[in-house]
Structure formats: structure tokens, C-alpha cells
Amino acid sequence: MKEIVLKCKGLYKKIGRKEILNNISFEVKKGEIVGFIGPNGAGKTTTIKLILGLQKITKGYVQINGYDINKQFVKAVEKVGAIVESPDLYMYLSGYDNLKISKNYYKKIEESRITEVATIVGLNNRINDKVAKYSLGMRQRLGIAQAILHNPNLLILDEPTNGLDPEGIIEIRNLLKKLAYEKNIGILISSHNLSELENVCDKVCIIKKGRIVEETNIENLKSEIENECYVLEVNNTKKAKDIIKNKYEILDDEHIKIYVNKEKLPSITKELEKNQIIVYTISKDKITLEDAFLKKIGGNDIE
């Protein structure tokens, strides 16, 4: 059984009379990548700040490697690497010099570790170039190099692929898998890029209005609606959406995705045809993490 590196139990956060978080509980294990997802204002950033000791916990506790973040802060954060928002980099310095500065924040890190992490993140050939010459994806990888410089076993990332082009996203995806599966680091990722999380995460933790609504692996989450997603090819999607009472998503001018039990399809198509909407084809669609997420939270506002 994999060792638990992060345990949040019964976390509450109040600011004045306003309750921000209510009974937040989840775990991250070594070698596991967990996606932390939720709508705007759900409490993701607040939870991360509580985990890192950046805000005071109203009630409950956070344990990192068995140490309580409130009672044993230094020990708790000793093996944690994090990037919240964007990496803090000196653009006029080289990647190597940025890592050299970061090395000074920690005790007993050999300079050879800089070359080692540069190789791990795939920057060994560009590590002596100025950061100003780096692409956004390279800067993100340098930020991850900073975060793992001290050999952490827990990595917390906030929007690691935000703003990256497809090539940069793939690079970060492959890097995170390497860190988890080869270096045995537990990774918590907060992101709105659900299609990318589906490619990289082992499980997801869904938060809505300050409460955890689901903590499960992705396949289990998707299996809950495996028979409830269909694509209808019609002659007028704009008119069709006003008739379909079920949850829907317009894909283009001729295709609309609906979430419905199979037994209800005949009555839906009958109602559409009654309103002069031609249904050309009906096909069962592949369930995505985004489909499962939207069904679980009952909305479509993704942060």
C-alpha cells in the first residue's frame, strides 16, 4: 500500500461569518497524481493555502508526511515543493543561476543537484541561457525544477499548464508523470484544463461551494454516466436546445450533445420532430472527465 504524503481531514475555513470551506477531507499518496477541480470560487485556492500554511485553519488539520502543518510546520513543509500561480524567476539571469539562488534557501544541497534537476525537467541543454529567452513552457519546467530541488515527496501545482501551447502542455504532462511514477512524488494539481487532467491524473477530487462532492479515480467517475451521453445530428441546434429539457452542450451548428437515460431518447426525438427539427443520426458519445465533472457539480462554470 502506498504511503500517504498529504492528508486533509475535516478542514473548515471561516472569514468573519462567511464559511469558505466545510469539512474538506482528501489524501494524496506517493507516486500518485491527484487533480483538484471545481467551479469558480469553490475553494481550491483557499484549500491549497491552508495546506501550505499560508492561511490559518479554522478547524480540522493538514498532515504532510505525518506532521501537522499547525503544530510542526517546519517538519511538515520540509519535503513539499509548490508553484502557486506562476514560478518566481529572475528573467535577466540564466536558468542555472535561478536554481543556484533557490539552492541557498535549503540546507545541504550539493551544486550537482542543479544539473540533476535540469536534466530531470529536460532543460540541461538550455540551463545556461537567460530565462528571458525561454518559452513559457521552459519557464514552467524551470519553476518545477526549483520546486523539486530539495527532493520533496509532495508537489503542489496551481494551473501548471495555463497559457501553454499544445507542445508545452505535452512536455509538462510527461514531466509530471515522470516525477510521480519514476521519482515516487505525490502530486496535487489544481487546474481548469480538464482534458489535460484526464491524461495525467490517477484520481480527482471535486470541490463545490467549499465542500468535497467526490474523491475517486477518473474511470469510476466517468462510469457513473457511461450510458447517458449521446450526440444528435440535427438540422437546427439553436432551436433544438430550446426544446431539449435535459442537460445539453452544443458542439456545432448540426451536433448537440445531451445527457439522458437511453429510455428517454424516443420521446426526445419525437418532440424534436414535432417541432420541425430533423434528427439525422443519434450516436453514443465517449464520456470525458469534463462530462463527468459537469454532471457531478450540476453546472458548467469551470475555473
- In the chain, the domains with their CATH numbers are 4-217 (3.40.50.300), 227-286 (3.30.70.100)
For the chain (length 303 residues), average pLDDT per consecutive 10? 92 92 95 90 90 94 95 94 86 96 89 93 94 93 94 92 84 92 94 80 90 82 66 87 77 84 85 89 78 64 40
User: Which pLDDT belongs to residue 35?
Assistant: 93
Q: In angstroms, rounded to a whole number, what is the distance separating the alpha carbons of residues 133 and 127?
A: 11
Instruction: State how far the Cα of 177 lies from the Cα of 190, in Å rounded to an integer.
Output: 16
Residue 46's identity, in one-letter code, is: T
Nearest to 200 by CA among 233, 157, 234, 260: 157
pLDDT of residue 74: 93
| CB-CB contact of 254 with 279 (8 Å) | no
C-alpha angle with apex 122: 117 to 127, nearest 5 degrees?
A: 70
State the pLDDT at residue 267.
87
Residues 6+ apart with CB under 8 A from 44: 36, 37, 38, 190, 207, 303
How much is the pLDDT for 65?
Answer: 96
pTM of the model: 0.79
Query: Strands across the sheet with 154-158, in order?
Result: 80-83, 154-158, 186-190, 33-37, 203-208, 211-217
Q: How far apart are alpha carbons 135 and 218 in whole angstroms? A: 31
Determine the pLDDT at residue 69.
Answer: 95
| 180 neighbors 5 (Cβ within 8 angstroms) | no
Cell of 143: 519553476
Coil, strand or helix at 118? helix
Answer whether 293's CB lies under 8 Å from 194's CB: yes
Beta strands 229-234 and 279-284, pairing class: antiparallel
Local structure of 283: helix, strand or coil: strand
pLDDT value for 227: 52
